[in-house]
Structures are given as structure tokens and as C-alpha cells.
């Protein structure tokens, strides 16, 4: 960045942010879970950018709505009413930015409203569209761990890496609608590729309507992708084990973006009589998700930020994160504010403050660059999508998570870390059975016919040899028996003397 020695903007830029959040802590994007991260980011912005920025975060929520589904029914009204009620405040600010942190709660309302106003919007969403379409969404920056495009790229990279071209997708209709939307999006993208054979089934997994799906899957695919909540997934895997689909010949891929207690149970262990069966079944799972160590590992760069978020949650929001909570949405929230501050600081120092009133122009400042934050380097794509370092995890023999692949945020490809501890020790499983799903593969048929002919020929030859040996043995025994009974007497024999060329045929030899 080239700084201008003569600044045309002589005071801190006044930034107003409207952030929509669910009130209750029953979702990863709720106020008690992400509010502390926003506050922590504001503290850091004040320390680092106080000379150029003053940022105010206006939290928009409503305690009347207990769940995301309830809140989403009223977000259109809520955002419009809140904006126009305080329009004077927004107009007096140098810039207004919209922010959101959960797909199911407010994604559609927030992005549509911000787009109509040509205002910058930073959100962690994928619930209804792709942010990469800049003709339709010119001001939308995705600071999400669940971007549609990135998820599709990651799944595709996994399939290509192991040459898996046959895929059965099942989405759980009893889970939040986001999961079936994700499944449908992936299905649409893969069917455009001529080398993939893909099916999509919508099933109520909670009601147990998956047995027919599992039976049919064995006739056309070795790879099953489950898109749904983690808790009913256990019943699904136990059913797969009962059908002998968890011995290592089949692969079950699932998407667990946030291994957090608020998002379900992500382990095989429910402390019931099925735990051991579930542990064995989970060994054929590949789970895509975020790297959960950024706030938890004391050696990671973001550990200090995570600890500060935990303290803020307890002190200001009366909420305590679970010990093993991944805090993934908190990471998104913190990152979104820090990269916003960096871009606005750059705009001031380079005398480009006209971009403060140009949402699409300002959005382009986020494109194709790497931001250095307190939780690590964050790479943005050429369309303004945060390139999340996804990992692929598998369960080892003891039933614990093991990272086996990681997504390179620059190339977008998955890189192999290690091989999973696969049940039958054959990795990766074949894309299809050697003789086809119906056992009638042409190659196997030709090879089978050849082997049959060779087998028959060998059998006939062996029988002929055995018959010859049996006849020879019988005749020889008879000859020996006859000679044995008159051993002192020899019959006339026809002898021929080569030297004299005469016959000695009538000569009788007598032994005395």
C-alpha cells in the first residue's frame, strides 16, 4: 500500500455498522456467541486505528424470537424498520456497513436490503445464493466459513483426488433447510460435469426413512454424501452398518462446519448400548469442516483472541463457551471487523475516501488479497470470498478425530496430510466394484469365460492322464503277476543279433 504524504481526510472516519443477530444462544450465530468477538475486534480496532477510524456496532436482535426459523420470518420488517427509524444517524455517518453472522436467521433479508442501498455488506452466509456473482451482488463480501462456492470446490477436490465419480447425495429434510440447499447446489454443479454420475435424495432421517436409500445406493455408488444435522446422522450410520456398508468398501462424506455443542453431537459416543457399533461405523466417515484449533490450541496465533472472547462473553453477555466449543462463528465475526478496518484505514491513507459512499467500489478493495489478522492470514478470492482453510477429518481406530487433508486457501485444492486408518486397510476405496455393481462388468465376463474354458481343458487333460496311468498300472501288475508265478521258465523270445544279422528265434535257454 502506497501512503499519501498529504492526507485530504483530516479526522477519523465515522463508521456505523448494523449487525443482525439471533438473541438466544441456541445457534452458532447468536448474540452471546458472536457478540463477544465483535466487541473484541472493536477493542483491537480502537488500539490500532484510532487515528483514522471510529467504529460503532449497532446490534439488531429481538428476544421475542427463540429460534432462527422464527427470527427469519420477521427479518425483512425488522431491518427496514430499524434502518428508517434511525436514518438520520446513518446519513450523518461517513459510511454505513451491514454485517451478519448466521445463514438461517437473516441472510436473505440483510443482503437484499444492503444491495438495494448499494451499501457494503459483510456476512457469514450461504443460504440462498453465491456471493461470487458480482453483477447481482456488487457489495457483498463473504467472510464465511460456509461459502457455497468454496464448499463446492472442496467437495469436488475430494472427489477428484481419489477418482470418485459416482456419488449418492442424501439431504435430511428434518434438519435446517440450509443442508438441503447445500446438497442441491452441489448436485447441480456436479451434474454439469459429464464424467460424474450423481443422484440426490431428500429423506427425513429423524423419522428413519433412509433404509430404502441405503439399499439403492449399493447399486450405483461407493461414495455417499450426507447433508444434515449431526445428531440423526448417528442413526443413519448405524443403519449402514447393519447392511454391512461400513467394512471399508464404501465412503461416507459429511459436512460439519462447526463441531460445537450448539450444533449437535459430532461423535459416535452417546453413552448408550450402541456406542461400540457406532464407533466402528464412524471409521468410514470423512468429515469436512473448519480447522477448530485456531482459538483452542495454546500454540496457535489466535489463542489469545479466543481467550479474550471467552472473558468478554462471561463478563458482558453472561455466557460461558463450552470447553470444546470450536468458536467458528466467533472467528468469522472477529475477522470481518478486522479486515473491514484494514480496508477503511487504507482508503484514508491513500486518499480514496470517495469510496466511502461507493459500495461496489469499496467492495473491490477486498478482492484477491491476503489480510494479516491476529488469528492468522486470511486470503480473499478475486470475488471477495474468504478462503477458509478447511480440513478433512477421519476417525482413527480409537474413535478420535484425525486430520487427513487440508484445503490450500491459495490453490483451493485439498492437500493430503496422511491416510485414514481405514477398516479394511485398503485406501482409497475403489470408485466402483471390479465387476460392476451388478457383477456383469464386460471385462470380468470375458475373463470369466476364458477362465472357464481353461478350467475345462485342464480338467479333461488331468482325467486323460489319470486314465492312462490307471490302465498302464493295471497291465503292468498283470504282467508281473504272470512272470512271478513261473519265474524259473522263460518262453521263446524273438531275439535279433545285430552283428550277425541272423534269427535266433527257436533257441530255448534252460537254466540249470
Residue 270 has pLDDT above 90, yes or no: no
Residue 125 confidence (pLDDT): 58
> Higher-confidence residue: 321 or 400?
400
Mean pLDDT of 206-219: 88
3-state secondary structure of 366: helix
Residue 445 has pLDDT above 60, yes or no: no
> Higher-confidence residue: 456 or 140?
140
Of 355-369, 377-391, 414-428, minimum mean pLDDT range: 377-391
> Higher-confidence residue: 238 or 146?
238
Residue 322 has pLDDT above 80, yes or no: no
Mean pLDDT of 241-260: 88
CB 39 within 8 A of CB 58: no
Of 121-125, 151-155, 406-410, minimum mean pLDDT range: 121-125
Of 338-342, 365-369, 412-416, 503-507, minimum mean pLDDT range: 503-507
- CA dist., res. 21 & res. 72, Å (int): 10
Mean pLDDT of 46-60: 96
- Contacting residues for 118 by C-beta, under 8 A, at least 6 apart: 138, 139, 358, 359, 360
Residue 376 confidence (pLDDT): 80
Distance of CA 25 to the CA centre of its chain: 26
Residue 504 confidence (pLDDT): 33
- CA dist., res. 276 & res. 501, Å (int): 94
Mean pLDDT of 444-465: 59
Residue 138 confidence (pLDDT): 94
Residue 379 confidence (pLDDT): 87
CB 389 within 8 A of CB 407: yes
Going from the C-alpha of 35 to that of each of 42, 98, 162, 172, 337, the distances in angstroms are 11, 15, 41, 30, 12
- Contacting residues for 319 by C-beta, under 8 A, at least 6 apart: 25, 32, 33, 36, 313
Residue 501 confidence (pLDDT): 38
pLDDT band at 469 (very low <50, low <70, confident <90, very high): low
CA dihedral 365, 368, 373, 375 (to 10 degrees): 140
Residue 284 confidence (pLDDT): 97
CB 106 within 8 A of CB 75: yes
- Contacting residues for 485 by C-beta, under 8 A, at least 6 apart: none
- CA dist., res. 173 & res. 201, Å (int): 10
> Higher-confidence residue: 262 or 356?
356
Residue 509 confidence (pLDDT): 34
CB 71 within 8 A of CB 106: yes
Residue 159 has pLDDT above 50, yes or no: yes
3-state secondary structure of 59: strand
Residue 245 has pLDDT above 90, yes or no: yes
Residue 382 has which C-alpha cell? 478475486
Residue 127 has pLDDT above 60, yes or no: no
Q: What percent of the chain has pLDDT over 90?
A: 48
Distance of CA 243 to the CA centre of its chain: 24
CB 479 within 8 A of CB 471: no
CB 269 within 8 A of CB 399: yes
What's the burial of 346, exposed, middle or buried (CB within 10 Å: 0-12/13-18/19+)?
middle
Longest dimension (CA), the chain: 147
The b/e string for 326-335 (b: 16+ C-beta within 10 A; e otherwise) is bbbbbbbbbb
Q: pLDDT tens across 274-287, in order? A: 999 999 999 999 99
- CA dist., res. 35 & res. 356, Å (int): 25
Mean pLDDT of 332-352: 94
Residue 324 has pLDDT above 80, yes or no: no
Residue 46 has pLDDT above 90, yes or no: yes
Residue 426 confidence (pLDDT): 93
CB 121 within 8 A of CB 115: yes
> Higher-confidence residue: 243 or 445?
243
CB 334 within 8 A of CB 40: yes
Which of 203, 255, 208 lies closest to 229, judged by CA? 255
Q: pLDDT tens across 382-401, in order? A: 888 888 778 999 999 999 98
Fold of 149-289+390-416: Rossmann fold (3.40.50)
Question: Could you tell me whether strands 414-416 and 401-407 are parallel, antiparallel, or unpaired per DSSP bridges?
Answer: antiparallel
CB 330 within 8 A of CB 37: yes
- Contacting residues for 279 by C-beta, under 8 A, at least 6 apart: 268, 269, 395, 399
Mean pLDDT of the chain: 82
pLDDT band at 84 (very low <50, low <70, confident <90, very high): very high
> Higher-confidence residue: 217 or 116?
116
Residue 500 confidence (pLDDT): 38
> What secondary structure letter does DSSP report for 470?
H
Residue 219 has which C-alpha cell? 447399486
3-state secondary structure of 100: strand
pLDDT band at 499 (very low <50, low <70, confident <90, very high): very low
Residue 15 has pLDDT above 80, yes or no: yes
165 beta partners: none
First to last CA, the chain: 128
Of 246-260, 345-359, 479-493, minimum mean pLDDT range: 479-493
Residue 269 has pLDDT above 50, yes or no: yes
Residues of the chain with CATH 3.40.50.2300: 13-145+301-366, 149-289+390-416
The secondary structure of 253-315 as a DSSP string is EEE-S---GGG---SS--SSTTHHHHHHHGGGEEEEE--TTTTT-TTSTTHHHHHHHHHHHHH
Residue 491 confidence (pLDDT): 42
Residue 446 has pLDDT above 60, yes or no: no
Class of 13-145+301-366 in CATH: alpha beta
Chain position carrying cell 508265478: 485
3-state secondary structure of 142: strand
pTM of the model: 0.76
> Higher-confidence residue: 210 or 496?
210
Residue 233 has which C-alpha cell? 446422522
Question: With left for phi above 0 and alpha for psi between -120 and 50, is residue 53 left, alpha or beta?
Answer: beta
Mean pLDDT of 196-204: 95
pLDDT band at 179 (very low <50, low <70, confident <90, very high): confident
Amino acid at each position: 500500500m502506497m501512503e499519501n504524504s498529504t492526507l485530504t481526510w483530516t479526522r477519523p472516519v465515522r463508521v456505523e455498522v448494523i449487525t443482525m443477530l439471533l438473541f438466544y444462544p441456541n445457534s452458532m450465530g447468536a448474540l452471546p456467541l458472536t457478540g463477544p468477538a465483535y466487541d473484541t475486534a472493536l477493542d483491537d480496532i480502537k488500539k490500532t486505528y484510532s487515528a483514522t477510524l471510529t467504529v460503532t456496532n449497532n446490534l439488531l436482535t429481538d428476544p421475542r424470537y427463540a429460534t432462527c426459523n422464527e427470527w427469519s420470518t420477521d427479518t425483512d420488517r425488522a431491518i427496514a424498520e430499524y434502518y428508517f427509524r434511525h436514518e438520520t444517524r446513518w446519513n450523518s455517518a461517513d459510511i454505513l456497513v451491514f454485517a451478519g453472522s448466521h445463514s438461517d436467521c437473516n441472510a436473505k433479508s440483510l443482503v437484499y436490503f444492503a444491495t438495494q442501498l448499494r451499501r457494503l455488506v459483510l456476512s457469514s452466509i450461504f443460504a440462498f445464493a453465491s456471493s461470487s456473482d458480482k453483477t447481482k451482488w456488487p457489495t457483498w463480501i463473504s467472510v464465511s466459513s460456509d461459502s457455497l462456492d468454496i464448499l463446492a470446490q472442496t467437495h469436488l477436490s475430494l472427489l477428484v483426488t481419489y477418482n470418485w465419480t459416482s456419488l449418492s447425495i442424501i439431504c435430511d429434510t428434518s434438519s435446517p433447510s440450509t443442508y438441503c440447499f447445500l446438497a442441491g447446489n452441489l448436485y447441480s454443479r456436479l451434474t454439469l460435469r459429464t464424467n460424474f454420475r450423481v443422484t440426490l435424495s431428500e429423506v427425513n432421517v429423524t423419522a428413519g426413512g433412509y433404509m430404502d436409500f441405503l439399499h439403492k445406493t449399493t447399486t450405483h455408488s461407493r461414495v455417499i454424501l450426507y447433508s444434515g444435522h449431526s445428531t440423526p446422522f448417528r442413526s443413519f450410520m448405524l443403519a449402514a452398518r447393519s447392511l454391512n456398508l461400513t467394512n471399508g468398501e464404501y465412503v461416507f462424506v459429511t459436512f460439519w462446519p462447526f463441531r460445537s455443542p450448539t450444533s449437535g453431537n459430532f461423535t459416535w459416543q452417546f453413552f448408550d448400548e450402541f456406542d461400540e457399533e457406532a464407533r466402528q461405523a464412524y471409521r468410514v466417515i470423512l468429515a469436512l469442516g473448519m480447522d477448530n484449533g485456531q482459538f483452542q490450541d495454546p500454540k496457535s496465533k489466535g489463542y489469545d483472541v479466543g481467550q479474550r472472547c471467552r472473558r468478554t462473553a462471561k463478563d458482558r453477555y453472561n455466557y460461558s463457551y463450552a470447553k470444546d466449543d470450536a468458536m467458528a462463528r466467533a472467528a468469522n465475526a472477529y475477522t470481518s471487523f478486522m479486515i473491514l478496518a484494514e480496508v477503511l484505514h487504507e482508503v484514508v491513507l491513500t486518499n480514496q475516501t470517495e469510496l466511502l459512499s461507493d459500495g461496489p467500489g469499496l467492495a473491490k478493495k477486498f478482492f484477491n488479497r491476503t489480510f494479516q489478522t491476529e488469528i492468522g492470514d486470511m486470503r480473499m478470492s478475486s470475488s471477495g470470498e474468504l478462503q477458509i482453510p478447511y480440513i478433512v477429518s477421519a476417525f482413527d481406530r480409537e474413535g478420535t478425530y484425525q486430520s487427513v487433508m487440508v484445503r490450500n486457501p491459495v490453490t483451493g485444492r485439498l492437500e493430503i496430510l496422511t491416510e485414514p486408518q481405514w477398516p479394511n486397510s485398503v485406501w482409497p476405496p475403489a470408485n466402483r466394484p471390479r465387476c460392476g455393481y451388478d457383477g456383469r462388468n464386460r471385462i470380468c465376463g470375458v475373463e470369466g469365460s476364458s477362465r472357464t474354458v481353461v478350467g475345462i481343458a485342464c480338467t479333461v487333460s488331468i482325467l486323460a492322464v489319470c486314465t492312462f496311468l490307471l490302465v498302464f498300472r493295471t497291465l503292468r501288475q498283470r504282467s508281473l503277476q504272470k512272470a512271478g508265478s513261473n519265474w524259473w521258465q522263460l518262453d521263446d523270445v524273438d531275439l535279433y543279433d545285430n552283428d550277425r544279422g541272423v534269427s535266433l528265434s527257436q533257441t530255448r535257454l534252460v537254466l540249470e
